[in-house]
Amino acid sequence: MKKFIENLVYPRRCVFCSGFLDKNSNEDVCSECAEKLPWTKKKCKSKGEFFSECLSPLYYDGKAGEALRRFKFMRKTSYARCMGKLIADCVRENGKGDYDVIAWVPISARRMRKRGYCQAKLLAKEVSKALDIKCSRLLRKRRHTPPQSTLSGLAARKANISGAFSAVNKSGIAGSSVLLIDDVITTGATLSECTRMLLMAGARNVSCATLCKSVKK
């Protein structure tokens, strides 16, 4: 009944094109987007300096990129459920499995004050629910850094982010296989730096997953 009324007041819409979704379906993506979004090929894994793999269901392009920007910059936090489920599906199908804990790439206190929410944390909470694996805060951003998107090249991005994160809750990290969540992977510099901190704090292994993967230019 609650779901029926919710649907009456707020008809469900596809987060990628805003088209109405079939009220009887459990799908979160409309049939057209299911077909036409820039899905990555199965087992599309990015490699990083420290993490063992990074899985991403979509390329950061077209309607996927637009939706991710609305989620991140225009307060469309309700997208987290659909986007988190897409990440979880990709991890379930292509990941190595055996994760003990889910964590996320945190934002700085300054960005938190400005944005009001941490997009990667919202995604991690949904991935946690979908995969039934606990979610814990394992990292902290120690200092504010200019957005990686304003810098080009791996060297500049690595320098920008070096030492920007630290591990918290070390007892929750030691010996664990961590699944680390972020919204997008470009060069992998941020995920590598976070992975480095988790490994130094005693993580057994770190795998990553993001909603989008940047298209190579």
Interface residue list for Zn ion (CB under 5 A): 14, 16-17, 19, 30, 33
For the chain, how far is it from start to end, CA to CA, in angstroms? 49
Q: Cβ closer to Zn ion: 27 or 100?
A: 27
Q: Cβ closer to Zn ion: 33 or 203?
A: 33
Q: Cβ closer to Zn ion: 30 or 209?
A: 30
**Beta carbon of residue 17, minimum distance to Zn ion (angstroms, whole number):** 3
**Beta carbon of residue 112, minimum distance to Zn ion (angstroms, whole number):** 30
Burial of 4 (0-12, 13-18, 19+ CB in 10 A): exposed
67-80: string of b/e by CB count within 10 Å (b at 16+)? bbeebbeeebeebb
**Beta carbon of residue 211, minimum distance to Zn ion (angstroms, whole number):** 15
Lookup: tokens for 145: 């850094």
What span, in angstroms and rounded, lies between the C-alpha atoms of 136 and 155? 30
Q: Cβ closer to Zn ion: 17 or 156?
A: 17
**Beta carbon of residue 110, minimum distance to Zn ion (angstroms, whole number):** 34
